[in-house]
Structures are given as C-alpha cells and as structure tokens.
Chain A
Amino acid sequence: MNTFFLIMGIGMCLLVMLCLFRVIYGPTILNRAAGISAVGTKTLIILLIIGVVHRRVEMFVDISMVYALLNFIGCLVLAKYLERTGEV
C-alpha cells in the first residue's frame, strides 16, 4: 500500500509539471491564474500523500489545511485585483 501511494504521488507531481506548461506559456494572465489554482489543488493532495507515506498524517494534515486556505484567498485576491484594473 505504501508503494501504491508513492506511485500516486509521483504521478501527481508529473501532472503538476504538465500544469506548469499553462502557467509559463499561457496567453493572458487569467490563464496563468487558472493554472496556478490547479497546481495549488494538486499540491494539497501531494502533501497529504507525503504524510501517508511517512506515516505522519497528523502533522501534514494541518499544513494541507493552511495550504487550501492560502490557495483560495490568493486566487480570490488575484481575481479581485484583475477585475478592478480592467485589463487582461
């Protein structure tokens, strides 16, 4: 079961690499914001999987919770800022 979670974590790291393509080459800044949101969501699961593999979930679950909050607030702040400036 440990090997299974390790394989899942490595696969999600590869998916994060694929999402970084949209972050780097995105045509507008809104595309980059969508890519960053997707990367943050995958990082949340990767953190929990690291905790399961190292058998320390009770420590990593708090980090994961804080990461979810920061991802949400950052995304919201970026959206509000872009909405107010009125340029893409």
Chain B
Amino acid sequence: MVIRELIAGFFVCTGFFFFFTATVGLLRLPDFYSRLHATGKGDTLAVLFSLIGLAVYEGFSLTSVKIVLIAVFMFLAQPTATHAISRAAFRCNVKPLTTPGGPNR
C-alpha cells in the first residue's frame, strides 16, 4: 500500500513539474510558435504522468481503466490540437521570430 502511494506521488510530482515548465514557457518565450512548442509537448507529457499517477493510486478497477482511456485520448488529441492551431497561424501569415528584438506576436 505504501509503495503504491509512493509511486503515485512520484508520478504526480513529475507531472506537476512538467506543467510548471510548460506554463513558464507559455509566459516567457518571445514567439507564438515557440510558446506553442512549450505548451504542446510539455502539457502532453505532464498529462500522461499525472493520469498514470492517479491510475496507480486508484488501483485496478473500472475507474483506473477509464483514467488510462483518458490518457490514451489525450496522447492522441493534444498534438492534433497543437498542429491545428499552428497550421492556422501559418496560413494566417504569422511569421516566426528570426532576429532578436523583433515584433512580439
């Protein structure tokens, strides 16, 4: 029982760390594409870690199977949404930042 709680706590803490780095990237990076790069990958990994931790804490039941299903869905959906937003930005002629000190978009 204690070992299971330790594993769950480790996974949830790792997920929280990746959420923190994704948020810092969303706030501090200078360009729209770099912001999307930070949130797109960081949030996917953080959601996977947090959901696996919660499923381990719950034990083997129908609820944990549903949590794993949410994890699989997010693993497919989050990169798709990020790609859709970045493609919309590319077709709207949002230029990536190539020189330092350019316009903040």
Chain B residues, Cβ within 8 Å of A58? 62-63
Q: Report Cα–Cα, A48/B10, bound state, in Å.
A: 17
CB pairs A–B below 8 angstroms (14 shown): A15-B23, A30-B92, A37-B39, A37-B85, A44-B74, A45-B19, A61-B70, A75-B81, A76-B84, A80-B84, A83-B92, A86-B91, A88-B92, A88-B94
Q: Given A31-B32, A45-B47, check contact A87 B92 (CB 8 Å).
A: yes
Q: Given A18-B23, A27-B105, A34-B35, check contact A80 B88 (CB 8 Å).
A: yes
Residue tally, chain B, CB below 8 Å to A: 48
* Chain A interface (Cβ < 8 Å from any Cβ of B): 1, 4-5, 8, 11-12, 15, 18-19, 21-22, 27-28, 30-31, 33-35, 37-38, 41-42, 44-45, 48-49, 52, 57-58, 61-62, 64-65, 68-69, 71-72, 75-76, 78-80, 82-83, 86-88
Query: Which of A34, A48, A76 gathers most chain B CB within 10 Å?
Result: A34
Which label, helix, strand, loop or mixed, suits the secondary structure of the B interface?
helix
* Chain B interface (Cβ < 8 Å from any Cβ of A): 5, 9, 12-13, 15-16, 19-20, 22-23, 26-27, 32, 35-36, 39, 43, 46-47, 50-51, 54, 57-58, 62-63, 66-67, 69-70, 73-74, 77-78, 80-82, 84-85, 87-89, 91-94, 104-105
Q: Given A34-B26, A45-B50, check contact A82 B70 (CB 8 Å).
A: no
- Chain A residue with the shortest CB-CB distance to B62: A58
Q: Report Cα–Cα, A49/B50, bound state, in Å.
A: 10
Chain B residues, Cβ within 8 Å of A82? 88, 92
Chain A residues, Cβ within 8 Å of B13? 8
Is B51 touching A8 in the complex (CB atoms < 8 A)? no
